[in-house]
Structure 1
Amino acid sequence: MSGRKGADADPARSLALLWGAHGKPGRSGLTIRSIVTAAIELADAEGLEAVSMRQVAERLGVGTMSLYTHVPGKGELVDLMVDTAFGRLYDDVDAPSSRPGGWREALEFVAARNWEIYRRHPWMLHVVGGRSVLGPNASLKYEAELRPLDGVGLSDLEMDSVLALILTHVEGVARLQTNMAQIQRDSGMTDAEWWTVNAPLLDKVMDGSRFPVASRVGQAAGEAHQALADPEQAFAFGLERILDGVAALITRRSEA
């Protein structure tokens, strides 16, 4: 399962906030929901490092101390942000398992939805991993994503491992895509422009007779992707191979 980083968060306080009622406004008119929404909008626009209690308060047009009556600090706020984002993944808990193509199409849907959430909220890549503080939406996400695998012949541990493998693949490729976009912004050059500038130098230092396979494969990949890598292709190719392996495992279990 995906987790969160937020080392300054108190798990007990986060759990109380995550599972508590969020609708009642305080004296300032603020609610936890409005605070979290503003924090997510800020993170989407400027990155997670831009999120602070002061910046969120300014976005809401209130004093910083007003936020602390609802949320103890940034660590707990990040936990709430992640859980809220997870709540936007599926319309209901049976959305993946109700796909018409069985477990395989359901897991393709799960992968696509998780891929999309990282595209919408790339800041989440900075908080996944580590120990999870399981909020209601994270728990529903786990339930929804496991249901397609229930009853196909896998053990409970295998079901969890299959889901973790898929989510780890999605996270890794999403991180690649985010890093490539950041490098392009920092350098001011597209991958094609970078290759145009640096290819002559690489041709001089990379001896094709010494690295024959690397030269051939690297050239083929570069020509195909017109970039250092193609995250979309990596996502689709890797997911297909993972699901082929899961299908083989299910077949072995059924034969046994």
Structure 2
Amino acid sequence: MHQEYSGSGDPAKSLELLWRRRPRPTRGPKPALTVEQIVQAAREVADSEGLGAMSMRRVADELGVGAMTLYRYVPGKGELLDVMLDHVYGELPRRVVPGDWRARLDEVARENRELYLRHPWLLQVAISRPPLGPNVMAKYEWELSTVEGIGLTDLEMDATVALVNGYVHGAVRTAVEARQVIQRSGMTDKEWWLAHVPHLDRIGDLEKFPLSARVGTAVGNEFDAPYDAEHAFEYGLERLLDGVSALVANRSAPPG
């Protein structure tokens, strides 16, 4: 899978773009493009063909201009990628759902999951150095607000949000890869499973692996496949929230 890294552009230029603080030219012809148009075109390429297809030249072609024209608005691909990320994060509704912290944190996980599924190219960006734009900051603020006032320290609040986001990232990556396998092979998981089971029963020495045979059969019977992304996500999210719940309960328990 193609990999890119956020935060790789010039810090000052990236921040000026992210916060739309770049000075407008006072001389010369009226600008023919806007940063928003460029970002939208870049996103459309990434959405339809993956991040590996997105380049300054390709975006310029989509907009019907020369590649050098883009550099009047965006210094380079690194800065463009940062703005793309911030732009996409602006899609998060950041709703404050009724209920307790668990319901709110559950909402964070699900909204982030839906964002990844709409834009799988996000999985191709390493964000250990996130773009410090307004939508990224608003996302973090919203996520932190779900665990504010429940007894966690500031470091624990940050770690809890990171834990949820990390879980969602991994779960969606696995789901997207499974979806890509179906698209490339032309065979559903059920078809793959049914094609293998008769041969496995005939060729495999399953008596040596009784637990694997029993559990694998149960999974196959339940999902008609060796894996179900939806079930895996739901199960993992519930267990993660159970862990946070245990920590919160420990914080609120009386001493002794």
TM-score (norm 1): 0.89
Q: Specify the code of the residue in structure 2 equivalent to 1:247.
A: S
2:184 counterpart (186, 189, 212): 186
User: Displacement, 1:87?
Assistant: 1.1
1:45 aligns with 2:48: yes
Identity %: 49
Partner of 1:207: 205
Gaps of 5+ in 1: none
1:100 aligns with 2:88: no
Distance (whole Å) between structure 2 residues aligned to residue 60 and residue 23 of structure 1: 22
Distance (whole Å) between structure 1 residues aligned to residue 215 and residue 224 of structure 2: 14
Partner of 2:227: 229
* 1:168-219: CA deviation from partner (whole Å, max 9, x where unpaired): 1111111011101111122121111212222233334432221110111111
1:141 aligns with 2:139: yes
Contact 1:11–1:133, Cα closer than 8 Å, also in 2:
no
Distance (whole Å) between structure 2 residues aligned to residue 65 and residue 56 of structure 1: 11
2:113 counterpart (107, 112, 115): 115
Q: How many residues align?
A: 248
Partner of 2:5: 5
Report the structure number with the largest CA radius of gyration: 2
2:77 counterpart (67, 71, 74): 74
Distance (whole Å) between structure 2 residues aligned to residue 175 and residue 22 of structure 1: 35
User: Displacement, 1:113?
Assistant: 0.5
User: Displacement, 1:22?
Assistant: 7.4
Secondary structure of 1:223's aligned partner: helix
Contact 2:61–2:67, Cα closer than 8 Å, also in 1:
yes
Rate the CA distance shift 1:100–1:23 in 2: closer, same or farther, 3 A.
farther
Structure 1 stretch displaced more, 6-15 or 136-145: 6-15
TM-score (norm 2): 0.89
Contact 2:171–2:233, Cα closer than 8 Å, also in 1:
yes
CA RMSD of aligned residues (A): 2.1
Distance (whole Å) between structure 2 residues aligned to residue 85 and residue 128 of structure 1: 15
